[in-house]
Structure 1
């Protein structure tokens, strides 16, 4: 691996051995995980929006429907989060979907 340069006070120079070792060992920061509890999801929806979500989810396979019904939380790192985003965005647009799917 090529050793990168470092810029300090506007001056660029090669990293020292200590700086390079620290740079290599820096932990990767995991992206934040959104956790949304069903009570918050359903509370944020109007009655009409809730009906629309129910109708959209009714078109999903039974397995998917039951996962969403049984979930104690919806997490952005779960494989089905993208479905929840797609449903919310297609029904309500990106702005409203963002409000509905915000972390609890």
Structure 2
């Protein structure tokens, strides 16, 4: 006897198999070192906090966490480096909210 399935059952089966395939092919994060970019010179408060956080974060992730200082232009150079990097979570910014607001204001003025 031929059984006809309801569309919602087929949709559930198809979406479940799609999710299983996507999870099977996905890389585990992180698969390479993570960089914390500090947009200020070394020795400041943001740098100290990033270095305190880097070791436990690296232990938790199972990958090294590197702190990179990129000072200059009141943090704009470091923010530009983070904005130019791929949005894959391997380069994160440890700055202040004012550097992000200042940078977004610069981008609005350039357009």
Does the pair score TM above 0.5? no
Q: TM-score, with normalisation over the residues of structure 2?
A: 0.30
